[in-house]
Structure 1
């Protein structure tokens, strides 16, 4: 079965979340669109052409007898026929794609557990269908807890490890949705998701990198997950993404890095992976938002290390920081002034009279 890849930043009924996943960035004066948009429904494309007539019939009848239809589809999920299971999962996926009321009806009809079971299927298409249907159902806040307590986390992590590229991306999105419940973040981290998301961040396509960075940003509000991410080598792909201004990932990479550099081992890893020249370049030529967050990261790197301060100063950071202190946002000016003062301390100490 051939899937047609179709991505969009916003699906009908799934508005883009501009609140940075419900986390407050009062420490940064960011007034334009957020660095992250929430994962939306259904990144698997539509049904193949041969099934288009069935799809139109499904959509047409859904509003009139959807409860009866959903009950039949849920029963088909547990069929002995893989084809029937696949078709049922695909149709439930479509019903849940844009309609919130259908997401609730499908969950109440008992679809979640059999869909989770499909995620562990050795049939890659069946696994992808199960992952995508669960993603669509997770867009309803009422369903998140049910999905988590029904045991979805480990199968989703398994799909992140062994699934098709689409299954991996949709699994990352589904894990992100579950991570928006604070109590799930630690469980997702313990399940082995973090190294797999780091791998997707490094090796995935454009969509995969975006999904992985968004999921990591959410999960790394938990300290243990921060440690796991650093140990998994996250700084290398973050630095690479931030160095590539054409990737449209500079902001995302910087926000994830900013979430991590409070850890001493994270700061050391940024330096080891060549992050200082990249951050200084962003302060010099990036957008206002990029300059501000790069400065905030450099400030954290430099606060407790004279060695790192010297490295940053030698990289030529002071002139662009001076410019930022004069023309940046209020918060950027403050951060730039603090960092300039830090960078000048080692020089002042070395030139002070004995």
Structure 2
């Protein structure tokens, strides 16, 4: 039964926990981003550092997240949205064109200031005094808050020399070698690999822009070509002795990046395949028409056969030919004609044809159409929107009951890929997909079961869906996959179960379905590689009284103490959290933990564990000492 409006105001369905876990996940993603190079490094590092400094706040809120007041929860949700915005800004800078970034400094300065202001405003909504956090974390968060407000007033100083150098290099046909060297140093475009990454970034910018970028792509490509020649000259000048008397008569050496990997000839119409490799269109088409389904250069499977024009590389090749007096490749159409946006109508028409085959085709046509939609939905966000708007979701849901296993697999995977879009999650649930996804979860195809589990996890990100998925009977089926699935299937099932069990009602279902015995077995046998996942789910279940009792009946104390001594940082953290839940209010369990040497492991965790492990270990040590003192007092009276 879906929760009422009143029930939705309470955090029972795990809203607080979901928000905190989402915040910690985003901070982890920011921490994993590589250190930036290039013109925006200072602004990038400032924003990334401030996001990472909020991690202790989220970590301390994790244990009490479901007890947060609705107003505090709303503040956390606003903060989550702001931190996601900051992560996306950092990613875009890391992956974007350095040339574009330095040519539009004010644009990116404003983007960083907007992200900073969003976090500051979200923190304004949260009263730190009302949260159950330590004094140290409160002070650190207040400091970050103050820094964010001060950052809104600051202006990043523009490197005027670099800006002048770039504008001069853009408009001079024969740029000074010293100027180009200075630009390549400041932009960290120092070698062939750097130049190729910049070329790819420019290409992606062209494809993703909804019209002409506000800086001429041809100008940037021309400048990149000059920088590439400068870099190559710098790298070879120390090792190669040039002989002018012969130079006039030698044909210019074609750069490797301009040659097709198949023909080894200069490319005229370069296109990109799904693995990211570039080939001459005619040669890769022949390869595909011969029945090959792999990338010739990397041997990786091709996820689709679409060929994307590499406009930037084509422009670079044309400029190189012009500079070296070589006849330009025959034009395949103007740059404007080739823009990706012009093919959107064709894509929509193609999707419509695929939907007709889903609705009215024979089994083979339905299988092929579902497979095509699966790949299209995987490729990009626009496809997911177009496919859903065309009405594909109800048709794919019907195919979940197909007698053909491959069709069933394609359909559930297509729904998984479509569910990445937040609006599509609601459409999938409204199409009554949940019971049918559970049916797929019990099918014979392991890949279909894996992707069904992943789809349920994706849909369960919406708190209300956690209730509906539990009511659809997914939890017993997920437990079955957890026990008897492939390695990947077990991981997918564990992830889905963890998320679903954030809702109290699902914890009861999971315990009654016998999940505890299976999880304990995974702890006993670490060879399955599921110790971390099993402990995380057990720690969630232990917050429920029925779950706590079921776990205690398995007598896990010796195992938990061992894991606290020998496990990874994450394993030790979850083992301490679970042990604390079992011992809190249970003197028998606490005495057993003490007798097995838990104090020694807990003291070590207080010194070397994660922040959450330190808190749990410290709290449990306090309980053990209080129990010992009370016992000693009772003995003295006797």
TM-score by length of 1: 0.81
**Structure 1 position 327 matched with structure 2 position 574:** no
Q: Which residue of 1 aligns with 2:559?
A: 278
1:161 matched to 2:408: no
Listed one character per residue, the Cα deviations across residues 152-210 of structure 1 (whole Å, up to 9, x for unaligned) are 11100111122411111101111111111111111110010011111111111110111
Aligned position for 1:318: 599
Q: 1:252 aligns with which of 526, 530, 533?
A: 533
1:107 equivalent in structure 2: 388
- Between stretches 96-105 and 310-319, larger displacement belongs to 310-319
Q: 1:243 to 1:348 in 2, by over 3 A?
A: same
Q: Which residue matches 1:202?
A: 483
Q: Tell me if 1:86 matches 2:367.
A: yes
Q: Provide the rounded CA distance (Å) in 1 between the counterparts of 2:441 and 2:585.
A: 37
Question: Structure 1 residue 190 and structure 2 residue 437: aligned?
Answer: no
Residue pair 1:119, 1:155 contacting (<8 A) in 2 also: yes
Offset at residue 56 of structure 1 (A): 8.4
- Which of 439, 452, 460 is residue 171 of structure 1 equivalent to? 452
Matches within 5 A, 1:261-300: 261-300=542-581
Partners of 2:532 and 2:61 in 1: CA distance: 16
Asked if structure 2 preserves the Cα contact closer than 8 Å seen for 1:93 and 1:129, the reply is yes
1:51–1:119 Cα change, 3 Å: farther
Partner residue of 2:401 out of 115, 120, 133: 120
Matched, 1:59 2:306: yes
The 3-state SS of whatever aligns with 1:122 is coil
- How many Å apart are 1:144 and its aligned residue? 0.9
1:238 lines up with 2:519 in the alignment: yes
CA distance in 1, matches of 2:611, 2:307: 54
Uncovered stretches (5+) of structure 2, i.e. residues with no partner: 1-21, 28-57, 64-289, 295-301, 310-339
CA contact (8 A) 1:186 1:224 kept: yes
Contact 2:303 2:375 (8 Å CA) reproduced? no
Pairs within 5 Å for 1:210-221? 210-221=491-502
Tell me if the contact between 1:21 and 1:218 (Cα under 8 Å) persists in the aligned partners. no
CA shift digits 1:277-333 (9 cap, x unpaired): 221111111222322221111111111211221222233212211222233344433
Judged with a 3 Å threshold, the aligned counterparts in structure 2 of structure 1 residues 150 and 21 are, in CA distance, closer, same or farther, namely: farther
Point out the structure with max Rg over C-alpha: 2
How much has 1:98 moved relative to structure 2?
A: 2.2
Instruction: Give the CA RMSD over aligned residues.
Output: 2.7
How many residue pairs get aligned? The number is 317
Task: Give CA-to-partner distance per residue, 1:190-245, whole Å, 9 cap, x none.
Answer: 01001111111111111011101111111111111010011111112222333444
Q: Given that residues 120 and 155 in structure 1 are in contact (C-alpha distance below 8 angstroms), is that contact kept between their aligned partners in structure 2? A: yes
Which one of 355, 367, 375 corresponds to residue 74 of structure 1?
355
**Candidates 421, 426, 432, aligned match of 1:145:** 426
Alignment partner, residue 50 of structure 2: none
Counterpart contact for 2:415–2:455, Cα < 8 Å: yes
Q: Structure 2: how far apart are the matches of 1:21 and 1:221?
A: 19
Using the alignment, how far apart are the partners of 1:18 and 1:250 within structure 2? 24
Secondary structure of 1:202's counterpart equals: helix
Q: How far, CA to CA, are the matches of 1:66 and 1:163 in structure 2?
A: 34
Deviation per CA, 1:133-166: give whole Å up to 9, x if none: 1111111222111111111111001111224111
* Aligned-pair CA distance for 1:52: 3.8
| SS of match in other structure, 2:374 | helix
- Separation in 2 of the partners of 1:182 and 1:306? 36
- 2:522, 2:534 within 8 Å by CA — same for their partners in 1? yes
Contact 2:373/2:414, CA 8 A, preserved across alignment: yes
Query: Does structure 2 conserve the Cα–Cα contact (< 8 Å) formed by 1:283 and 1:320?
Result: yes
Kindly provide the CA deviation profile for residues 219-272 of structure 1, in whole angstroms up to 9, marking residues without a partner as x.
111111010011111112222333444444332222221111011221222222
Check if 1:133 corresponds to 2:380.
no
Output the CA distance in 2 between the equivalents of 1:18 and 1:346: 36
Gap regions ≥5 residues in structure 1:
1-16, 30-48
The SS at the match of 2:597 is coil
Shift of 1:129: 1.3
- TM-aligned CA deviation for residue 18 of structure 1: 8.2
Mean Cα displacement is larger for which, 178-187 or 241-250? Answer: 241-250
Equivalent residue for 2:261?
A: none
Deviation at 1:117, TM superposition (A): 0.3
Shifted more, 330-339 versus 120-129: the winner is: 330-339
Q: In structure 2, how many angstroms separate the alpha carbons of the residues matched to 1:274 and 1:20?
A: 32
Question: What's the counterpart of residue 589 of structure 2?
Answer: 308
Q: Distance in 1 between matches of 2:410 and 2:303?
A: 19
Cα gap change, 1:50 to 1:272, in 2 (>3 Å): farther
SS at match of 2:502: coil
Once residues 24 and 620 of structure 2 are traced to their aligned partners in structure 1, the CA distance between those partners, rounded to angstroms, is: 28
Shift of 1:21: 9.0
CA distance in 2, matches of 1:349, 1:109: 69
